[in-house]
Structure 1
Amino acid sequence: MKKIAIFCHNFYANGTVKVALTQAEILQEAGQDVHLFVFKQEGDFPPPQNVTIHYVYKNQKELKLKEQQQQLKRCVEAVEDSSGKFDLFLSNSTDCDTVVSGCNFDPCYYFCHCALKQELIMELKRGPIHFYRRWIKAKALIKKNIITVSEGIADELKNTGWLKAKSIQAIYNPFRIEDIRHKALAENDEIPNEPFMIHIGRITRQKRLDILFQALALMPSAPKLVLLTNRPERARKLAKKYNVEKRIITPGFQSNPYAWIARAELMLLSSDFEGFGLVIAESLICGTPVVSTDCPYGPNEILTGELASYLVPRRNPKALAECAVACLAAPPQLENIDIIKKVDSRHIAQKYIELCHQ
């Protein structure tokens, strides 16, 4: 049995947090002694069961970076003094990386869930302050052991001269397939009785809801679009700009999105870039077809073989609409999909455990 520390910023609903919590659960189920160090005791997701949780800060914002690092080290050392040294440390978000990187935990691996180059370019376009804030977080990865969530990101980082990483490898995000399929069967009175399409994601420029709504406007006979997002009011405001506000449904955060996904006719993604594309894999597990932009990185590693025909060029509402209409008319068969075997949580848990011996 290995003793494993996982660092997570909070419990708010986003892909990075979901992965960290899933990591904790599957490693615990694999017989490891897992400790989750959470920086902020707040958010939407419930804490994982049967995992030891330590809340590190009462008010992190009041502390300077050096003070944050010292407090985190004290917290970890107190646990080690009482129950033994950790065999592995996993940092799971950019908000954790800057703190963890100054603590000299060993062996420590940093997960890169995003297309780093694309994010830096996006923030540079927003202005120098936005770029600087993102750059500070990116610098925490220099000379570190990095795990990316797609082969595409791994290839990008290996060719990033300033990073000079100690090591870079790709390990796909873990999915508890049986659990997802069980939750997909749950009843929910909020779910529409009429046919609908679905999109899941934060309201950020990266997700390109402007492209999504333009595509929706180009397919007037298609079903309504459900958006499970963290800011439904902003989604509705943007939808109004493209005259599709009456064709979207915004129920807000859902603790069980799989019941929605499984009953949808189609999952739509319009992103400029992804790290992996969690909702694409989740949709396929639930038996719901996907039409996605062929963006860096992830979608083209998930939608392979015959499913590759459901990848469309980025920033092209017409192509997205046409492919969606074709998919609705003749949905693909979703059996024996290669990626589902590769992301099974039991398989991924063993890959994490192997890190202890590298």
Structure 2
Amino acid sequence: MRIAIAIDSLAGGGAEKVMINLAKQFISLGHEPHFLVMEDNRYYETPDNLPVHQCFADKDKDYDHFGRLGASVDKLRAKIAEIESRVGKFDLFLSNLDKTNLMMTKTGVTPLYVIVHSSVEEELSRQFKLGPFAYFKKLRAKKALNGQHLITVSNGIAKEIQAKGRLHPASMRTIYNPFEFNEIVAQSQQDNPQIPQGDYLIHVGRFAKQKRHDVLFEALKQTQNQLPVVLLCHNHKKAIKAAKKFGIEERLIIPGFQSNPFPWIKRAKALVLSSDFEGLPTVLIESLACGTPVVSTDCPHGPNEILTGNLAPYLVPRRNPAALAKMIDAVVAQPPSLENVEILAKVDATAIAEQYLALAK
């Protein structure tokens, strides 16, 4: 099958990484995925046999602007037709992230499935605080999901959409994100001279309000242990500036974006997630696959579907630095067993790819 994966860009976010992993699995199963990226913003490397088509020129700024949307949709529709004239018709379209979803849902391509990677309500709530323009722009993108076939990356997102009733999709089902565990383990064993020799904690995530570095830093200020903390994020200056407010900047190690974060995760005493909301936080599953215990806020959505059984105690209320600090100390002092972690059996890349391929049949 020929599959089009549409997304804003290949910048270093979770959705981008998930889709690259899915595309690699499609290739391994003998299929032909193509990326349709709206703009050229790339951190992640892609295989040579994975075509990447840029749909808008660098000069096409604000292509999702209210006044330009119609023309942008026409341009995207024409670009897809041009690509299909060269490579053949696509058997399946997968759309990701708000800007792309807004346009792909108006192109008329079929069969189209929109992947919902995060909490709809939490994203709207955050934009509401930024003012009416930001809120209505986000609401417009979410309303584009009405009448569409949705794939949610966790059961929690699906339950939220059903319970709130804001959106009325044509269909909705959950497909977890794919993980190639042999590849993760192999990459985790690579050497990297930047990695600290002693014990440390790790946090992986872009420096954004959603990730709540302020909660993380306040928790670190309260921990009994004084382990250094590796931050794998883009914005070094903002992270240091924020950490200074809590007096813990000397504990931070910020090596910048890492195309292979797994050796860093594997060698950590524990990984900490402090987010306000997620979809299915990839980094928690990757950490468990590397054999590194995790502590996470019980945020909507995903962590409570990942940390089950003997790992459930390592969920703490979100926005509660004291509870997070206490559990960080606990996991450092006595790590849990990571044998037979339930979620790992549910997210095997081949099985997940087969679920996506079945959408086109």
Q: TM-score, normalised by structure 1?
A: 0.96
Alignment of 1:325-344 (within 5 A): 325-344=329-348
How many Å apart are 1:128 and its aligned residue? Answer: 1.5
Give the aligned partner of residue 210 of structure 2.
206
CA contact (8 A) 2:293 2:335 kept: yes
Equivalenced residues, count: 356
Superposition deviation, residue 78 in structure 1: 2.1
Rate the CA distance shift 1:354–1:250 in 2: closer, same or farther, 3 A: same
Where 1:123 maps in the other structure, the secondary structure is: helix
Partner of 1:23: 22
Please give the residue correspondences for 1:1-358 in structure 2 after superposition, counting only pairs within 5 Å.
2-59=1-58, 60-61=60-61, 63=63, 64-357=68-361
- Cα deviation per residue 1:267-306 (whole Å; 9 max; x = unaligned)? 0011111111111001001100000011111000000000
How far the C-alpha of 1:191 sits from its partner, in A, is: 0.6
Root-mean-square deviation over aligned CA pairs:
1.3
Deviates more, 1:50-59 or 1:186-195: 50-59
1:112–1:146 contact (8 Å) kept in structure 2: yes
CA distance in 2, matches of 1:53, 1:148: 24
Distance 1:260 1:178 in 2: 17
Partner Cα separation in structure 2 for residue 120 and residue 62 of structure 1: 20
How far apart are residue 30 of structure 1 and its match? 1.2
Deviation at 1:20, TM superposition (A): 1.7
The secondary structure found in structure 1 opposite 2:61 is helix
CA shift, 1:79, in A, is 2.8
Q: Kindly provide the CA deviation profile for residues 156-207 of structure 1, in whole angstroms up to 9, marking residues without a partner as x.
A: 1123323111011110011111111111001111111111000011112211
Consecutive aligned runs of 4 or more in structure 1 exceeding 3 Å deviation: none
- Aligned partners of 2:11 and 2:44 also within 8 Å: yes
Q: Is the 8 A contact 2:94 2:115 kept in 1?
A: yes
Q: Give the letter for the 2:300 counterpart.
A: P
Distance across 2 between alignment mates of 1:268 and 1:162:
32
Name the SS of the counterpart of 1:264 in structure 2.
Answer: coil
Residue 81 of structure 1 aligns to a residue in which SS?
helix
Gaps of 5+ in 2: none
Distance 1:71 1:196 in 2: 49
Task: Give the C-alpha shift of residue 221 in structure 1.
Answer: 2.5
Structure 1 residue matching 2:106: 3-state secondary structure: coil
Give distance in 2, aligned partners of 1:89 and 1:224: 44
Deviates more, 1:51-60 or 1:345-354: 51-60
Determine helix, strand or coil for the equivalent of 1:165: coil
CA distance in 2, matches of 1:176, 1:49: 19
Secondary structure in structure 2 of the residue aligned to 1:37: strand
What one-letter code is carried by the residue in structure 1 that aligns with 2:185? R
Cα contact 2:224–2:329 (8 A) shared by 1: no
Q: Percent identity?
A: 42
Q: 1:137: how far off?
A: 1.5
